[in-house]
Amino acid sequence: MSKNFNKSLTRRRFLGRGAMAVSAVALPYYIPAAALGRGGAVAPSERIVMGGIGLGGRGSYDLSVLLPQPDVQWVAVCDVRKGTRVAAKNLVDSQYGNKDCAVYGDMRQLLAERTDVDAVLIATGDRWHALASVLAMRAGKDVYCEKPACLTMAQGQMVVETARRYARVYQTGAQRLSEPNHVFAIEMARSGRLGPVHTVYADCRWRDGLRQDWLPAEPEPPQDELDWDLFLGPCPWRPYNAGYLNSGWYHFHDFATDVAMWGAHTVAQALAGLDMTNVSSIEFEYAGPDATMLTRLSNGVKLVLFRVAGSVWEPSNYWHGACGERFEGPDGWVAAADGYTKPDVSAPALLQEFRNVVSAYTTRTQRPLNHVRDFLDCIRSRRPTVANPDVMYRSMCICLAADICEQLKRNLKFDLRKAEFMGDEPANRLRARAMRAPYMV
């Protein structure tokens, strides 16, 4: 596959048209309109060829959203669990009415063999997100990766550098950046309609620490049913236990992050409404194990990482629902979260601008209000996505710095441009984790 996707499409288009021309002269038979790209269909030579890696849970949802896209052709699925990869194959085959979807248990095999694949969906467990993204981009694939996109700052930087070096399109799954209610809230702050924003709240469902222990050993299932070594990937070796499966890993430090689990969404949403170009550093104030964390940006804005305890989703003073953000300025405030029919505002007059604000955003950015559609459009145009590597890295650095602040139980000052703590070597050592061989880059 050519590194330049546009050239690749042009070559396919040329070869496809040449083949059709020869056929038309030699055998004048009926060709379905869909095969020619007529009637609203996309010709096979113009489709984005995709594969999926890690398709249980959230991955199965992402697959169901991407499959109906008219300009996408799914050809391969991969998962370390046999049941999951078979289910994904069945879903793809059902969509196309055939049995053509290839199945892989090891993503490295898919990336090496499928030179026809243009882009991959990565929805593995969090420990694999950064490594799988790097391997895929090195193999010439564009990447849609679920969040949180990395477990450490070092991994996030690795994703940014790889995307830049290999000229790959990358979108992280912070889908609320493409949803109208959140777009409205972000644009109200960004455009100055609230006046100079002084305080921003981000809904962070902290879990009050992750487990540092590991589960006792149980007999491993057959490798064809579950490749346990691949399941673990770059994280420390742990004996097999069924308790890690079906998102059980989510509660262990070996496999996951704390603030970034939800902050990967909401911090990105909060930052999108601010002018971050003049922000050089951020101060984190440790307030105790059960308290909301206040951070101060160098431009004077307060970013509040709001702690939501346990399964409670009702911080009623700021928003209702989950994954919310709120912007406050001298001229009013606006908030949005999941489940809203319309954003919350300090005065009804602000909401009267909803259609104009959202329309101005789509006109200015030329982006659809659809996250996977933005990814696919950017594959063709080769421009950065709305949740591009830089957006991912900046928001993840803040989330991971908050984790480190919690871990060390003291205030920290973080240089946002250098991605390092200022004058604090113990904190800086926590910006990376060892990656287990051979799962390292």
Please give the single-letter amino acid code of residue 107: M
Instruction: Give 213-219's long-range contacts (Cβ < 8 A, gap of 24+).
Output: 213/252, 214/238, 214/239, 214/241, 214/252, 214/254, 215/239, 215/241, 215/243, 215/244, 216/241, 217/241, 218/242
Q: How far is CA 380 from CA 6, 293, 376, in A?
A: 7, 41, 7
Distance CA 432, CA 404 (A): 11
Q: 26 and 171, same structural domain?
A: yes
User: In CATH, what number is assigned to the domain containing residue 162?
Assistant: 3.40.50.720
Looking at residue 93, its pLDDT comes to 98
The structure tokens listed for 412 are 């920290």
Q: 182 and 166, same structural domain?
A: no
Q: Is residue 133 part of a domain?
A: yes
Looking at residue 372, its pLDDT comes to 98
Give yes or no for a contact between 441 and 134, defined as CB atoms under 8 angstroms apart.
yes
Q: Tokens 């020869």 sit at which residue?
A: 22
Calculate helix-pair angle for 371-381, 5-26, nearest 10 degrees. 80
Q: Is residue 245 part of a domain?
A: no
Q: Is residue 252 part of a domain?
A: no
User: In CATH, what number is assigned to the domain containing residue 311?
Assistant: 3.30.360.10
Q: Which residue among 128, 157, 175 closes a domain?
A: 175
Q: Is residue 111 part of a domain?
A: yes
Q: Which residue among 175, 196, 229 closes a domain?
A: 175
Q: Is residue 41 part of a domain?
A: yes
Give yes or no for a contact between 406 and 399, defined as CB atoms under 8 angstroms apart.
no
The structure tokens listed for 206 are 């902290």
pLDDT in tens, 365-416: 999 999 999 999 999 999 999 999 999 999 999 999 999 999 999 999 999 9
pLDDT in tens, 7-24: 444 444 434 444 434 334
Q: Is the backbone of residue 158 left (phi > 0), alpha (psi -120 to 50) or beta?
A: alpha
Q: Is residue 309 part of a domain?
A: yes
Distance CA 417, CA 276 (A): 11
Burial of 391 (0-12, 13-18, 19+ CB in 10 A): buried
Distance CA 60, CA 86 (A): 12
User: With a cut of 50, which residues of the chain have pLDDT below it?
Assistant: 1-36, 311-314
Number of domains within the chain: 2
Distance CA 299, CA 325 (A): 19
The structure tokens listed for 428 are 């800086």
Distance CA 262, CA 201 (A): 13
Looking at residue 23, its pLDDT comes to 39
Looking at residue 29, its pLDDT comes to 45
pLDDT in tens, 84-130: 999 999 999 999 999 999 999 999 999 999 999 999 999 999 999 99
Q: Is residue 243 part of a domain?
A: no
Domain that holds residue 364: 176-209+257-429
Q: Is residue 337 part of a domain?
A: yes
Q: Residue 438: is the preceding peptide bond cis (ω within 30°)?
A: yes
What does DSSP say about strands 102-104 and 72-78: parallel, antiparallel, or unpaired? Answer: parallel
Q: 276 and 404, same structural domain?
A: yes
pLDDT in tens, 176-189: 999 999 999 999 99
Q: 261 and 126, same structural domain?
A: no
